[in-house]
Structures are given as structure tokens and as C-alpha cells.
Chains A and B, each alone.
Chain A
Amino acid sequence: MDPSIFFQHLLNGVTLGSLYAFIAVGLTIIYGITRIINFAHGRFYMLGAYITYIFLQIIGLHYFIALPLTILTLFIIGYLFDVIVLRKIRERGYVVTTVITLCVGLIIGNLVKAIWGRIDLMMHTFLTKSVTIGPITTYAQRLFSIPVILVTFWILHYFLFNTKTGNAMRAYSQNQELCIAVGVDTNRILTFSIALSASLAGLGAAVIAPLFRIFPDVGGLPINKAYVIICMGGFGNVKGALLCAFIIGITESVLAGYFFPSYRDLFGFALAIIVFLIRPQGIFGTKVGFEW
């Protein structure tokens, strides 16, 4: 077995897992706080990709400036999304929220398609060049995602456990009434969580979208996997989403690379089904709240 091939498969899996992670963690945070599965979440990724493109290639900023700007813009978009859409439907049942977020996602996606749909775009950052590290030849951008993932989720962990807002978020997801009784500003927390999730998706886009072509349905296939991932990891569980994202990403890339490449999507899904059969609430799932 050729080690360079194995490491390449592994790296592919890590990239894929990062993509899933950026989307799934945001999705699971939104669920943990609002109990809503946001079917429009893939659009945050898509918007992140387009916005990064605008900053990078239309306005002409340097990549390391475009990146935080994208995060900021997605933060604002997430904020708007909460204020305009989610706040109105928080109290509604599962079906209503699903259908509404689905519709909003479709509307956003198709508006973008109507404006930009006819032209494919490709992003070039200073990192989309081949480098050779040991046995692997790959784009530096792909390797870049590794430190970004580590740093981002370390910061997220720190935030959730060591800051007032983070603790409030976790507390709120576990026991809403108590939080309100204690005087926590729930609206602020809710809106902040959603904006945070959107920024995560935007960060993911800024890091990973340059590796691929940009088109209005970008993020469509990964988001479908992300839904299954958050179920598998346990709803509202950030650790679970993160872990399962990488498990699925790496399993898919490695197994498909070595055995049945045409059935790539099936491997991750089969794994998820096995988890469901053994433990329907997901690996780290509990009945209450979200946790790290």
C-alpha cells in the first residue's frame, strides 16, 4: 500500500470533514438553542462563498483581509436571518419550522441563481497553489484548513465554557425557563447563536470554497450530509457534530478511494444508519440541551 496515496486519501477526508464540520456545528448550535433545524443553513455557506469571492476578486482585497470580513458579513446575515425569519417561528412546531426554513432557503438560493446563475466562478487565493509536503502534493489551501479547524474549535470551546455569553448559551439550551427566570437576556443569546452559526458556515466557505467552483447550489450536497451528521452526533451536541463530521468525511474519502468510488455517499450514510439502529438519539445525544 502506497503511503502517499493513503495520506492523500486521509487529507481529502480531513478537508471533507472540515467542510461538514463548519456546516454541521452551526446547524447543531441553532438546534440546541432554538430547537429548529435550519434547512436554510446551506445558504449561509453559499453566501459565504460568493461574499468571499466578492471581497477577494472583485474588490481585490488580500485573502487574510477577505476572510475576517466574510465572517463579519455572515455574522450580520445570521443576525438578520434571526430577526426576520427565526424569531417569528420559534414557538411553532417542527413541521412548520422545517417547511419555513426550507422555503426561505429556496428563495435565497433561487434569487442568487437568478442574479448570478449563468456564470460559473472560480476563486484563486494565494494559497491555491500546489505544494509538496512529504509524500503528498496538494494545494496549500487544503492544508490551511487544518490549522483553521483546530484554532476555530478551540476558540469555540473556550467561548462556550469560559465566557458569560457562552455559558448563557449553554444554560439556555438546557433549561429555558430557568434562564428567563434568572434574568438572562434571551433574545440576545438567541440572535447571537444564530449569527455565530452563520459565521461558522461563512468561515468554512472562506477556507474551503476556494478549492471548488462557485455556483448557486454550492453547499447543497454537503448540507444534506450535515443533517444526517447532526442526528448522528446527537442533536444540539457540538462535540458530536464535530466528531461525526470528521468520521463521515474521512470514512467516505478513504473507503471510496480504496473500494467503491461510485458509492461514496453511501458509506457515510450506512454508518449513520448503523448508529441510529444502535442508539437512535445519536452518539452523544441526550434529551436535553446542547453541550460541548
Chain B
Amino acid sequence: MNILSRKRIISVSGWILYAIIIFIAPIFLGDYLRHTMIMFLFYISFVVSYSILVGHAGMFSLGQQMFIGFGAYATAFLTTQYTNITNILITIPMAAIFGGFLAYLMSFILLKLPPRPFSMVTLAFNFFIRQFWNLDPLKFTGGALGIKPIYPPTIEIPGLLYIEIGRLGMYYQAAIMSILMLIFYHLLTTSRFGVAIRAIKENEILAENMGINIIWYKRRTWIICGALAAIAGNFYGYYLGVITPYVFLWYRNTYLLTMAYLGGITMIEGCILGPFIYVVLAEFMRVTEEFRIVIFSAILLITILFFPEGIGGKVKDIYKKIRSKGDL
């Protein structure tokens, strides 16, 4: 394919347009919409990790959001309890390492399980992490009262740079984080690693026969996705300024599932489209708030029945049909 093919030009310019919109948006938006945009960008970061895990590797986890909690707590530990480190150049990698390490520990049980118990056990882990974090028998989690405050993030390169990230700065932090996540997503899914995990999802036995070491890939995917979600959690901790074990409440999973599947679980555009549709819907749904869960469940149901590839997938399908009809 020609490097300057129409498809690639449209794709790249679409992304550049997206980045521009994201970066200039705060100028036009009031504080309320800025907060909504930050939620949107945060959800993108989470959906990226979920999309890799479920959409590409087929590891249907029902507890992925606990890593947000891990990342937020790692950040809290660094900024309040032990030393006062607010430098995101340190806290982000530390959050990723913390999340990745806990993922590594969990993988010893999880990877032994067939797919259905795998999902149940991730759900159970989420439940027990919450219980354990509240009870805090080993006295390191900060307990049920949580950790407050988490001081605002900074960027520090000793001798060169010192920036304190204020409220507006956090918007750009979220924006950059989400864009880096999307870039990582693209690189990972188009690499050999990505091809291998999709092969595993398609047909595990065949993949094994072709020489792909299933456990090796699954473990790394699980750890990477845990680390990614923990990075999102790092931002979450900074943005709220406080973290409590409520972050581990599992039922919120429905909304996260919805936004992951709405956009399209296997495509990068889906990572943006899903949270976008979710946030827009949530805004307009203020009128019937009591039925919010019902409506979102219904939406998820319809999506998964009729648009298994998400709305993004449907749009792509339509686009392909148009193109092929045009060729005839």
C-alpha cells in the first residue's frame, strides 16, 4: 500500500484533527464541560487497557477496574504516606509497576483457569481486594478511611524543570495520557505481539500448534493491561485528591463494560467512540436518572446483540460496503 494512500491520509489527518480538538477544547469550554472532557479522557485510558485484554487477547476479565484502584493507591502511597513525591515522572512508572506486579501475582492463579472460571475469579478478586483493603490487616493500605490528601502532581527534572500541574494542567495531563495510551495501543496491536494474542483469541489450540506460547503471551498481556489501567488510576488519584477503598466497588463495572463494547472492542477508534457515546448519553440522561442503569444495560444488550463490533465496527462495515459497492 502506498504510504500516501487515501486511506492513510484520511486516517492520519483524522487523528491530527482529534488531537487538535482535544488540545484547544478547554479554551471554549466552561469548567463543567472541562470536567466532563476529563472524565471522557480518563475513560479512554481505561478502555484501552480493557480493549487489549478482552478485545484482542480474549481474556474476559470482569475485574479490570481494580487496577485503577491499585494505581491510585500507589500514587497515594508515594505522595503522602512515605515520602512526598508528586513528580509524575516517578509516580506514573511506580503506579505501573505496582499494578503490573499485582497483576503478576494474580496471574499465577488466573492463568491456570479455563475461560469461565477466569472471569468469575477476576470478579471475586475485585470483591476480596475491596474487603481486604478496608480491613487492612497488614496495616499498609491506609484503611477504610482512605488517604487524603493526594497532593497535586508536578513534573520535575532536577536542575532543569519544575512545573506544578494545576486544575487546567490536569486536563492536559489527561489528554496527553490518553493520546499516549492510544499510540501504545496502536503499536502493540499492530506488532507481532498483537498478532499473536489475536491468534490466541481466535483459536487457542491452533495457535499453540503454530508455536505460540500461550501462557507467555497471556501473562504479559495481563500484566501490561494491569499496568496500563494502573496508570489511568494514577491520574484518577491526582484528580480526586483523595482515595478510598470505594474505588474497588465492582458494580461500576457495568458502565465500563458498556463504554468498552459500545465503541467496538477490537478497534482503536472504539476506544474513543465508546467513552464519547457514554459521556454524551450520560449527560442527556439526567432526566431519567433513576433508570440510568436500566437504560445503559439495555443499550449494552442491544449493542452486543446487533453490533458485536460496536458502533465503530458498524460504521466501518457500512463504510466498507459503500466502498465495495462503489467499486462494482
Contact = CB atoms under 8 A, between A and B. Distances in A.
Q: Do chains A and B touch in the complex (CB under 8 A)?
A: yes
Interface of A: 37, 88-89, 94-96, 98-100, 102-104, 106-107, 110-111, 114, 224, 227-228, 231, 235, 262-263, 265-266, 269, 273, 276-277, 280-281
B135 interface: yes
Interface string B105-149: 000010011111101110110011001000100000000000000
A104 B291 CA distance: 14
A107 B112 CA distance: 33
A280 B112 contact: yes
Interface of B is mostly: helix
Interface stretch (B16-24, B32-40, B207-215, B294-302): B294-302
Contacts, number: 88
Given A100-B304, A114-B290, A276 B113 contact: yes
B60 A94 contact: yes
B128 A103 contact: no
Contacts of B135: 262-263
B323 to A, nearest CB: 28
Contacts of B11: none
Contacts of B261: 99
29 contacts: A96-B305, A98-B119, A99-B257, A99-B300, A100-B301, A100-B304, A100-B305, A103-B254, A103-B304, A106-B254, A107-B294, A107-B301, A114-B294, A224-B124, A227-B123, A228-B121, A231-B116, A231-B117, A235-B116, A263-B131, A263-B135, A265-B131, A266-B128, A266-B131, A269-B124, A269-B128, A273-B121, A276-B121, A280-B117
B223 interface: no
Contacts of B115: 94
Nearest to B135: A262
Interface in B303-328: 304-305, 308
Contact of B128 (A88, A104, A265): A265
A110 B297 CA distance: 10
A33 B186 CA distance: 40
Contacts of B109: 273, 276-277
Given A227-B120, A228-B124, A265-B128, A276 B294 contact: no
A277 B293 CA distance: 36
A21 to B, nearest CB: 18
Nearest to A269: B124
B54 interface: yes
